[in-house]
Amino acid sequence: MDKLVYLQLPEPTMSSAPYVITQPQARELLAQVDVPQILRKLFRDLAAGQAVQPAQQLVEFPQGAGDFINYLGVLAEEGVYGVKTSPYIVREQGALVTAWTLLMSMQTGQPLLLCDAGELTTARTAATTAVAVDALAPLKAQRLAIIGSGKVAQAHLHYVKGLRDWQSISLYSPSLSEKNLEELEQLKSLDPRLSLVDSREAAVQDADVIMLCTSSADPVIDPSRLSKPALITSISTNAPRAHEVPPQSLNDMQVFCDYRLTTPGSAGEMLIAGEQHGWDKSAIVGDLPDLLSEKVQRPDYDRHVFFRSIGLGLEDIALANALYRQQP
């Protein structure tokens, strides 16, 4: 009869509860860190193979009740991995969107941090656009246009306002007409160069850089109707296949993105352009790792330049890690 052999398993490590950061705490801590610089380092780490960014994961609820998206990532140099999970819950009174980021140790496998990611999402979305604007916009760009007026749009202005010698900053949002005088004055106070205009056409007139900062599921502008070549930046929302520019317009623009290995599989206009308009992801000129490692140079503006970000798990994880390191 064979002798039974019992393997000695390692003693389990003492489990520990993660440190919890609420939304107000995250807002306060974010003001103490250089968000764009954290993201620049992240994208350089991606280029150097010191970070791993899997594709984001979309999980749909049954009966069209909503979905949630998981954003994963590993920062090897920092010794952490994590996930941001963000549900989109359909309700009669309007969709509910929340987000939380969990940070784990690569050494112990224990949870380090659970952070309300609402503030992280706003900051990293805007700061990623800012990193792209700094890398892609003409050095002598002077006219900035912003479409949108919510927290994300305001954060875009915060991170971009010092990147060029802007002579004018125009902002348009359909919701401007619904804001009261106090809300309009708060917007105007964000920067002395900021003008609130009453149409998107007025906002984008002769703009060098156009930042689309909306939650729209459908096109916000048509690049073919712009008066001159411009840098157009676009962000994501949870709405399925959301796109702020017409998908067919990708064929006429120089296309960049935050991360070429994941963005084409999620960005609505890229998916639709590939299926219906003959566009291929091989047409992407470069991504932020390419730009920040100088593998790809600043484009010439013989035609529009389009930058698309979908939001990477690594962005949330890098910011969450920075906030965690702020703790005593």
Q: How far is Cα 192 from Cα 104, in angstroms, rounded to an integer?
A: 43
CA-closest candidate to residue 260, choices 234, 238, 239, 291 = 291
Q: Distance (Å, rounded) from C-alpha 157 to C-alpha 18?
A: 33
Does pLDDT of 6 surpass 80?
Answer: no
pLDDT for the residue 221: 96
- Non-local CB neighbours of 195 within 8 Å, separated by 6+ positions: 168, 169, 170, 171
Segment 49-82, tens digit of pLDDT: 999 998 888 899 999 999 999 989 999 999 999 9
pLDDT score, position 126: 97
pTM of the model: 0.89
Let me know if 197 is exposed, middle or buried by CB neighbors in 10 A (0-12, 13-18, 19+): middle
Give the mean pLDDT of 317-323: 96
Domain definitions of the chain by residue range: 19-120+315-325, 138-311
- CATH topology for 19-120+315-325? ornithine cyclodeaminase, domain 1 (3.30.1780)
C-alpha 242/C-alpha 308 separation (Å) is 12
pLDDT-derived band at 15, boundaries 50, 70, 90: low
What DSSP character marks residue 134? H
Contacts of 297 (CB under 8 A, 6+ apart): none
pLDDT of the residue at 95: 87
Burial class, 276, CB count within 10 angstroms (exposed 0-12 / middle 13-18 / buried 19+): exposed
Q: What number does CATH give the domain 138-311?
A: 3.40.50.720
pLDDT band, very low/low/confident/very high, at 146 (cuts 50, 70, 90): very high
Say if residue 5's pLDDT is above 90.
no
Q: Which of 219, 289, 214 is nearest to 249 (CA)?
A: 219
pLDDT per residue as tens digits for the range 208-243: 999 999 988 899 999 999 999 999 999 977 677 889
Reply yes or no on whether the pLDDT at 144 is more than 80. yes
Q: What is the mean pLDDT of residues 165-184?
A: 95
Quote the tokens at residue 314: 């690594």
List, in sequence order, the alpha helices (H) in 255-298: 268-276, 288-292
What does the alpha-carbon distance between residue 215 and residue 219 come to, in Å, rounded to a whole number? 11
Say how far apart CA 248 and CA 253 lie, in whole Å: 10
Instruction: Report d(CA 245, CA 234) in Å as an integer.
Output: 8
Pairing of the two strands 194-196 and 168-172: parallel
Q: Note the Cα 143 to chain centre separation in Å.
A: 22
pLDDT attached to residue 55: 84
Q: Does residue 96 surpass a pLDDT of 70?
A: yes
**289: which residues sit within 8 A by CB, 6+ positions away?**
43, 44, 46, 47, 259, 295
> Smallest Cα–Cα separation from 250: which of 287, 216, 222, 215?
222
| pLDDT > 60? residue 43 | yes
Q: How far is residue 110's CA from residue 81's CA, in Å, rounded to a whole number?
A: 11
Q: Mind listing the pLDDT tens digit for each residue in 241-288?
A: 889 999 999 999 999 999 999 999 989 999 999 999 999 999 999 999
Q: Rounded to whole angstroms, how far apart are CA atoms 99 and 87? A: 7
Q: Is 11 exposed, middle or buried (0-12, 13-18, 19+ CB in 10 A)?
A: exposed
Per-residue model confidence (pLDDT) at position 60: 94
Distance CA 203, CA 216 (A): 17
Average pLDDT, the chain: 92
Q: Coil, strand or helix: which one is 66? A: strand
pLDDT band at 8; cut points 50, 70, 90: very low
At residue 87, the pLDDT reads 92
The rounded distance, in Å, linking the Cα atoms of 16 and 104 is: 11
Confidence of residue 327 (pLDDT cuts 50, 70, 90): confident
Question: What DSSP character marks residue 248?
Answer: G
Residue 41 has what DSSP assignment? H
Structure tokens at 138: 């003409």
**pLDDT > 70? residue 14:** no
